[in-house]
Structure 1
């Protein structure tokens, strides 16, 4: 018996899974560069969010056409890949369709897979037309440069090829066709190869089988470099997503403590700080680089699908301002990748590169254009929160650089002097009642 195909298959499988594990390890390392944050609350609500949003696609279908097509691709691609278990067993042990022993059940499964493969193929072609022929506006914003545009198309081509290979593999499997069970679609493709010799048909079947499994391994490892990483990260991201009301912003604990101390009449402002107090003070207020953000925010960045729903709903973007919530997430991910490569190149330690997220990637103009309306958060189909990053970077500008816009500085000065945002003396506040 020739064991060479089994050995080659084992090598390809180990290499593919090994490289994937290496990238997953790097991904986790990069996310952990963020600040720690407690997300252990509301566990039941978090599980519900993950089930409804990530698994149930509840926010995707708010746009019915794209949502319906996405559900087909999502369900089809996952269910069809159940067949991977059979392919792995056959590849390692040299068996033929090991699960076909249970012929009736097998016929139902493969028949379902073939129907889903056709539906996925049709859906992906429609997606390609929407993106490249119809050119839906949100796919052609300024941040969608060559790589983001090409990446989206590469994924569509991948899925087209994989679905086609699956159907061709079944259509050219002579023994499978003779079973006449489960070949609900491939039976109509099989006649295309009827003029070929049996050895040639077998060669096509083997080529399709190998290209199918190798394509899946390549696709698996491509995910790390692609926006389609959300296939894996949507589940943890929706679980750790915000569960508090959208309008409720988090307070900086260090600032809260300082304000409480200032308002406590029993506190001696000239007393020496208690032992260990310096260690509790943050290195900086707000965020200027990715290491200042929380690990949940960095997880958000890696989960971004670049679908543009957030930007298409953003009132600032719609009125021509520079802000694009999608760009905020893309820039955060790009900077995080840059920091990760820096660490890799310097033996596991970050070497200062003179760059940061604020300024080199995201401008103050973008940050101050935000109205904090939460439209982007509501629109995101996988619970990403661009607003939290915007707020943290604004805090840095105000509290570390005193770089707030003139209007905001005037308002804060009025509050300090007059106890209200308006430029009127406290003694004149009630004059309106005499008019």
Structure 2
């Protein structure tokens, strides 16, 4: 019976990490539903980009106050959870503050003091973010696409982080008092918890202190496992996916339009009617279905675009700078990414239920993203530039436009007129080529 706590701990650890890796496996499977794309070039630059943007938070500085508090939460939460290693060893083997043996008194004291200071800063930061999100009225945080679950999700994350940090300080404070009473061996330095909570716990008896310390320890551990598995359902999945997302980011100049090989081949055949369409690809199947132009569903998008959707932080910086949204158009780049993820998840649930995807009669275009949104985009790349983790909503919009124009001939009248003018007059304007220089005579 003396090992019952260790057994329960080990079971919780295995279940928690098992569910977490199951979620990661499902995300990977869903991303694989997209088309392959080669983003393995310029490896040194990609590592540099990931280090600067994902690890170094370089793009968060454009809004310095929010960026500063975000760095505190990010750095503090990540470093504090290094202690999870100590908790795992203590939980499995029944030790107490295992790292004290490894680090030694001085280093372990500096380590625990640093964690305490970071925990206190994280508490301040999440309180500021909670007030800012719910009471300060930042426009991009109160838009209609954030009503319901996205708003609740953001608040729940802040509440969970607050609770985990309070539990961490409670655990340390009660531990510190027990150390002062020589009930536990003296290990670590606790400048924050001993000052803020120590006077309160001094009035507790030894039994109550041990219960409080163990309760906070278990709460912190179970809370971390819960938070880890909650990420799958949350926009905070970017804590993990920001790293691969920035590594696979598009390194080409913004606004560079990618040509389709299939279109290039068609143009070459038009220019040389005598060319053999299968000369370049002798193994090609003449009866194969032609490649689909553009995208109407997630299966037509590239895997990196699906990764973008899963990585979206829903911060709204893209929408805040979108000229179409600012002028009252229906387009919101953030909503494009949220809708894409919703469709991926919808398809994922379909696969989970049926073992494979069974046509559900729905598409990303029209069922999730409306055509009005797609055509409202000015392709200015402001959203791409604004994203703190290099997500590219414009690429998805472009692919859906391609589908509408090249597969359905469903371009707006203004675009059809322009393309007709280019075809007939070699210019977007409705003037005969012979009249194109008449403006100079005026």
Do Structure 1 and Structure 2 share a fold, with TM-score over 0.5? Answer: yes
Matching of residues 91-102 of structure 1 within 5 Å? 91-101=91-101, 102=104
What whole-Å deviation, never above 9, does each CA across 1:198-231 have from its counterpart, x for those lacking one? 1011001000000000000000000000000000
What whole-Å deviation, never above 9, does each CA across 1:363-421 have from its counterpart, x for those lacking one? 11001000000000000001100000000000000001111111100010011111111
What whole-Å deviation, never above 9, does each CA across 1:94-147 have from its counterpart, x for those lacking one? 001111221111000000000000000000000000001112111111111210
8 A contact 2:108–2:187 mirrored in 1: no
- 1:381 counterpart = 2:383: no
**2:141 aligned to 96, 115, 139, which one?**
139
Match of 1:228 in 2: 236
Match of 1:409 in 2: 416
8 A contact 2:178–2:206 mirrored in 1: no
Match of 2:374 in 1: 367
**2:346 aligned to 328, 338, 342, which one?**
338
**2:256 aligned to 221, 232, 248, which one?**
248
Match of 2:430 in 1: 423
8 A contact 1:233–1:303 mirrored in 2: yes
Mark the CA change 1:115 to 1:400 in structure 2 (over 3 Å): closer, same or farther: same
Mark the CA change 1:278 to 1:172 in structure 2 (over 3 Å): closer, same or farther: farther
8 A contact 1:167–1:186 mirrored in 2: yes
**2:214 aligned to 194, 202, 206, which one?**
206
Match of 1:357 in 2: 364
Q: Distance in 1 between matches of 2:283 and 2:15?
A: 53
Shift of 1:315: 0.6
Matching of residues 194-343 of structure 1 within 5 Å? 194-264=202-272, 267=275, 276-278=284-286, 282-343=290-351
What whole-Å deviation, never above 9, does each CA across 1:48-75 have from its counterpart, x for those lacking one? 1100000000001110011000000000
Shift of 1:269: 8.4
Shift of 1:239: 0.4
8 A contact 1:227–1:305 mirrored in 2: yes
Shift of 1:270: 12
8 A contact 1:254–1:281 mirrored in 2: no
Shift of 1:196: 1.7
Q: Which runs of 5+ in 2 are unaligned?
A: none
- 1:82 counterpart = 2:82: yes
Shift of 1:27: 0.5
- 1:67 counterpart = 2:67: yes
Q: Provide the TM-score with structure 1 as the length reference.
A: 0.96
8 A contact 1:170–1:176 mirrored in 2: no
Q: Distance in 1 between matches of 2:276 and 2:8?
A: 75
Q: Which runs of 5+ in 1 are unaligned?
A: none
Match of 2:55 in 1: 55
Q: Provide the TM-score with structure 2 as the length reference.
A: 0.95
What whole-Å deviation, never above 9, does each CA across 1:24-63 have from its counterpart, x for those lacking one? 1100000000001111111111111100000000001110
Shift of 1:264: 3.3
**2:166 aligned to 159, 164, 167, which one?**
164
8 A contact 2:100–2:187 mirrored in 1: no
Mark the CA change 1:278 to 1:131 in structure 2 (over 3 Å): closer, same or farther: farther
8 A contact 2:262–2:291 mirrored in 1: no
Shift of 1:259: 1.2
Match of 1:24 in 2: 24
Match of 1:123 in 2: 125
Shift of 1:89: 0.2
Mark the CA change 1:364 to 1:128 in structure 2 (over 3 Å): closer, same or farther: same
What whole-Å deviation, never above 9, does each CA across 1:173-192 have from its counterpart, x for those lacking one? 14445637411112111220
What whole-Å deviation, never above 9, does each CA across 1:210-255 have from its counterpart, x for those lacking one? 0000000000000000000000000000000110000202111111
8 A contact 2:97–2:187 mirrored in 1: no
Q: Distance in 1 between matches of 2:335 and 2:403?
A: 19
Q: Distance in 1 between matches of 2:433 and 2:106?
A: 84
Q: How many residues align?
A: 433
Q: Secondary structure at the match of 1:287?
A: coil
Shift of 1:150: 0.1
